[in-house]
Structure 1
Amino acid sequence: MQSIDQEGKTVEEALEKALAALDKTQDDVDYEILDEGSKGVLGVGARPILIRVRAKDTLEITNLKTLMSTFLTELDVNFSDLDAQLNKNDIVKINMNTEDAAILIGKHGQTLDAIQYIFNQVLHDTKYKLMVDISGYKEKHNLKLVETVKKIASTVIHSGRRITLKPMTAFERRIVHEAVKEFPELSTKSIGVEPDRRVVISLLNAPEYEPAAERPRYTNNRSNGGGYQNRGNSYQPREGGYQPRDNGNSEGQPNRGNSYQPREGGYQPRDNSGSGGGYQNRGNSYQPREGGYQPRDNSGSGGG
């Protein structure tokens, strides 16, 4: 059970301070006076009033603590300091210490979130929401989340652009909504479905958020006449589809749309039967040296 000892000049002052520290209302607590204090003589020897304030445990919270204790015992987990606190907004916080914290928390707190989800299902028919914490892990995570959200909120104010956060649990989204309430010029909205539900932070008078429409997928169906299908009437296929080349023409290259005329008779090989040596006449554009190639005469005097 959560409790606190608080001093004050009067009982009312001490109780008010205790309620603020416990984050509760007077209906949620019981208190007793430990020391009525003393005014002393001319202020000498004066003592403040001392009271002890305890949070009340509802039947649901008592049963929840018992259920959590049984759950951890069945898992053969050694734990201590199991405590349940009822905070504002009907949020019940369960905290404990254990040497098996790493196992129960899991990677990025996934195992801890799973445990919290199971117990929230138990409280489904009640007004309470449960937050399970182990060795203060979740409290540190939530403080870091609030700090990050405040930085993002400042960015939205200065840029005027909405920002969509990563997917979060229902409890984390609740923390985001509460943190953004400190910025009166901003608003928040949850979008999507679990487990990808997320929060959008935008200016208060920003246009309504509309998720981008999914891009249509094209099919590879082909028409009877060949070619690709008309995709949204933006592309018109060639009538009759693809037409293969006609290789039934006469010798030489086929006629490609009448834009190319092959040489009459097709390809003609070189005639290497000519006499006189040298290269053959290629279309009468080159005249070889008479007698063909003549080797250099190295028999002359004087060297060469």
Structure 2
Amino acid sequence: MPTFQGNTIQDAIEKGLAQLKLPQDRVNVKVISEGKKGFFGLGKKPAIVHLEEKNVTVTNIKPAASAAPVQAQSRAKAAKSTAAKPAGKTPKKKAVAKKGPAKKAAASKKKPVPQKEQPKKPTRDDQIAISTATLHLTDITARIGTPTTVTVDRVDKTHVTYHLQTDKEGLLIGKHGKTINALQYLTQVYFNHNAHSKILVTLNVGRYRERREATLTRLADKAAREVIATGQPVFLDPMPSFERKQIHAHLADNQHVKTHSEGVDPHRYVIVTSKMTGF
């Protein structure tokens, strides 16, 4: 049985028809798998269909008997009837009723063209997005070898925190937090596309975020002291946007230094400069 794959069922059918070089009304379609979108490509499964050409029954039609003898007889009868009629008389033509107005009336009554129904846009729902993201996070962490229990803490209408509990915290966090930050970024993008409200997402493993915030605070204070002492700018290592915001917020009220970011993500970094020197 020939099977064909695609991102969607219709995509798989179209690929199969192209290979078989048949129109869709000439095949029987059997859906083997509807496929799965996955979470940004993770856990994605293709749609699979089976296409089979329909059996076409051909009926043999006997050729019609020759019409030559019949036509000859008809011409002979016509000749006799013409000879029997008296000369000089022309057969009267039957009056044909004009159908102009009727045709115009019929033409004016055109059948309405049915309009295709526009597909309804999917309704965005915050609670559905929160629940779906929980399932995806559970699935992804299991696939990367860090089975996790995920609990949700909705701080307010604009902020949701996912607490990930696992026996392999170090592996899930990754070096310098790269793994957990990547998962948080993917989850944030998912919410941006599927949630009704604008929601900020945080992923926390154990108390990693609290420890990281304390580290960033110490780093910002150290950079500020160095700038005040030397008058030279201090360039911090690249970090994600939400961590850069913590640096900016912590030093915003400092009377001696100011901060700004430069570069392009994921290599964007914070620069701490002196307000006195004008760097």
Please give the TM-score of this superposition, normalised by the length of structure 1.
0.43
Q: Which has the larger radius of gyration?
A: 1
Q: RCO (CA 8 Å, sep 6+): is it higher in 1 or 2?
A: 2
Relative to its length, the structure with more helix (as a share) is 2
TM-score (norm 2): 0.47
